[in-house]
Chains A and B, each alone.
Chain A
Amino acid sequence: MTDSGVNINSAVISAEESVSPTRRFFIGIQKSGPVLVPLLSLAAMIVLIIYMVNNPGGAIEARILNYGNVLRMFREHITLVLVGSGAAILTSVPLGILITRPAMRRYTPLIDNPVNVAQTVPGLAILALFLTIFGLGFRTAIFALWLYSLLPILRNTSSGIQGIEPGIIEAARGMGMRPWRILIRIELPLALPIIMAGIKTATVVLVGSAALSTFIGAGGLGELIVTGIDLMRPTLIYTGAILSALLAILLDNLLGSLERYLRER
């Protein structure tokens, strides 16, 4: 019996030895992915900004595309995304945990349904709606973005925890683990990949939605895009769109690294 385990191990080693050089190249890329992809997207962003500022392609573009402007919009965009998703994580994860507690199960629809409804309202409409309550500016945008990213995180947190094999929880209970110890040592680690998937989805979507914030004067890369549309200057549209796309890739990968770090701990 003890032999079978050893065999598995040696099988893995021999499988690694027998891969072709091309496969090994791709495996290498996969392994360095956590560092490589964020670095590449960061480099691409810097190169893009430098290039566009130096080659705006016209006088109108040149007035908007200077370092001060672009970096401000970039900073505003990142702030919108990080504060928005950060707030959403801080609300949705605890809420998701709460609605999976046995005593709270029957209240699940009370939380689930309003959050579902919030997701069905288009992002622009949410902005317009809260504009009338909170007025123009950063605060309203943050609120809308927070509301908009609640669902994926909440849904993934609760289904990640509910999806755990009941036998595992029962074994933990039967061995005398306290409920909060089960949560920390069993439930959260096992649900982590699914919770992180929700956070990643929410963050990437948020990078796109944050571009809408410009309509209520909260700035961000949306400003570049909307100005580009108004002045019919494609260079501006591309610059704004590509920068936010690269930002999405960067954040997605950084969150992936965070997940790996948490899992190995």
Chain B
Amino acid sequence: MIRFENVTKIFSRGTIPAVSNLNIEIPEGTICCMVGPSGCGKTTSMKMVNRLHSITEGKIYIDEVDNSTIDPISLRLDIGYVIQEIGLFPHMTIADNVATVLVEKKWPKQEIGKRVDELLELMGLEPKIYRQRRPSHLSGGQRQRVGVARAMAANPPIMLMDEPFGAVDHIARVRLQNEFLTLQEKISKTIIFVTHDIDEAIKMGDMIAVMREGKLVQYSTPEDLLSTPADEFVANLVGGNRSIKRLHLIRVSEILNRKVATVNMSDTLEAAKKHVIENAFNVVYVVSDTGVLNGFIGKVELKQEGEFVKDVYRSYPEIISDEATLSDALSVMLSNGESYVPVVDDFEHPLGAVSLEDVFKAVRQDD
């Protein structure tokens, strides 16, 4: 648990406080998103937790211990710290980067190696391939993963994340966000997550702290933030299309209940036809021998010449994973031009489908 108690930060005497009289309590195992325009004091607040910035007035308690009484080095070694991808050490290999805190904590060499492999695997980076690479040989998304792996190395109970997914494109960011939320379900860290993107905050945060000019404007759950913004500033920040933003809050896995039958590539069209007619969207999924979703057959495809499924099937331009949000699902539906979207698991095995109707229903239930 992290508790800010009347925390004020003044950088130089006589200037306006960067943070003034901040009171927040972040419960164990939750993500608190700090959001606001640049210069609002969100990063400063975060950096006072691991004492990269000193506190001018007030106290920050970590598990009821005043953090100014803890030696800053050992305090920081026990708090994971992720900043934008520039924070990776370019002259070290990925393994050495991830091992940084472990080396500082003087872990035995063998255990470090084992832990590094474990972390790389957890982040979906094959250790054999990536251990000896340099950060410059990784894509933006991979670097962010290494950054997260590095912060989690010593399994700290608390993590501070400063725009951790800021430097990647939208698609990679959505993926990283989903992966991280799935991970958080397993590891349950107490996290301060700084971002300027309100959509990201709504999606990632269990609680959201909206800040402006060093002051806390609103501290509430994403749902409350959307339904009852504290003032005009928050309402403007959240934006006009609040019901669309609510789609960020619901994950596909929560509403997924439609099954779609599957056929193999080598099946006959006759077998596929039966499924197509029975299905609500008039489709049947086509899967490979390993069960990976390859495409579909609908009414149009049935009319084409051919005897087997593999002759006529079409592939989907885009599919989504069950970790995605309804907002992702909706945007894929729009780009596919279909009123449903296929949902797959991590191995691209089909799980079912979400329809436009399901999305409507979910938002209505939420009201």
Q: Which residues of A contact B (CB under 8 A)?
A: 1-2, 4-6, 8, 165, 167-168, 170-178, 181, 186, 189-190, 263
Q: In the bound complex, do residue A2 and residue B76 qualify as a contact, i.e. CB atoms below 8 Å apart? A: no
Query: Which of A5, A167, A174, A263 interacts with B76 by CB under 8 Å?
Result: A174
- With A2-B124, A176-B74 as contacts: A171 and B87 at CB distance below 8 Å: yes
Expressed in whole angstroms, the minimum distance between the Cβ of A104 and any Cβ of chain B is 20
Q: B86, B89, B101: which contacts A176 (Cβ < 8 A)?
A: B101
Q: Is the CB of A2 within 8 A of B100?
A: no
Task: Decide: A6 and B129 in contact? CB cutoff 8 A.
Answer: yes
> Which residue, of A170, A171, A186, A190, has the highest number of chain B Cβ atoms within 10 A?
A171
* Contact B83 A174, beta carbon cutoff 8 Å: yes
- Closest B residue by C-beta to A4: B139
Question: How many residue pairs at the A-B interface have CB separations less than 8 Å?
Answer: 77
- Which chain B residues border A189 with CB–CB below 8 Å? 91
Interchain CB contact (< 8 A) of A175 among B104, B126, B139: B104
Task: Indicate whether B30 reaches chain A with its CB closer than 8 angstroms.
Answer: no
Residues from chain A with a CB closer than 8 A to the CB of B91 are 189-190, 263
Count of chain B residues with a beta carbon within 8 Å of a chain A beta carbon: 36
* A190 contacts B90, C-beta separation under 8 Å: yes
Instruction: Please determine whether B126 and A178 come into contact, CB atoms closer than 8 angstroms.
Output: no
Chain A residues in 8 Å Cβ range of B133: 5
Residue B77, interface by CB 8 Å:
yes
Find out whether the CB atom of B142 lies under 8 angstroms from the CB atom of A5.
yes
The CA-CA distance from A191 to B178 in the complex, in Å, is 38
Known A168-B90, A173-B76, A176-B76; contact A1-B139, beta-carbon cutoff 8 A: yes
Q: Which residue of B lies closest to A169 (CB)?
A: B87
* B124 contacts A176, C-beta separation under 8 Å: no
7 intermolecular pairs with C-beta atoms under 8 Å apart: A1-B141, A171-B83, A173-B76, A174-B52, A175-B76, A176-B74, A176-B76
The answer to whether A165 and B86 touch (CB under 8 A), given A175-B81, A176-B104, is yes
Cα distance, A143 to B130, chains bound together (Å)? 51
- Shortest Cβ distance from B81 into A: residue: A174
Nearest Cβ distance between residue B142 and chain A, in whole angstroms?
6
Contact A167 B87 (CB under 8 A): yes
Whether B87 pairs with A178 at a CB distance below 8 angstroms is no
Q: A5-B138, A174-B81 are in contact. List 4 more A-B contacts (CB 8 A).
A: A168-B89, A171-B83, A175-B104, A190-B91
| Contact A170-B87, Cβ < 8 Å, known A5-B138, A175-B104, A176-B73 | yes
Other-chain residue from B86, B142, B151 in contact with A168 (beta carbon distance below 8 A): B86
Known A5-B129, A174-B52, A176-B76; contact A167-B124, beta-carbon cutoff 8 A: no
In chain A, what residue has the closest Cβ to B77? A176
Asked if A170 meets B83 with Cβ closer than 8 Å, knowing A2-B125, A5-B129, A175-B104, the reply is: yes
How close is B148's CB to chain A, nearest CB, in angstroms?
Answer: 13
Alpha-carbon distance between A64 and B89 when the two chains are bound, in angstroms: 57
CB distance from B127 to the nearest CB of A (A): 11
Contacts of B151 in A (CB 8 A): 175
Query: Contact: B100 with A168, CB < 8 Å?
Result: no
Q: Smallest CB–CB gap between A28 and chain B, Å?
A: 25
Contacts of A2 in B (CB 8 A): 124-126, 129
B160 at the interface (CB under 8 A from A): yes
CB-CB nearest 10 A-B residue pairs? A171-B87, A176-B76, A176-B77, A174-B81, A167-B86, A189-B91, A176-B73, A167-B87, A175-B81, A175-B101
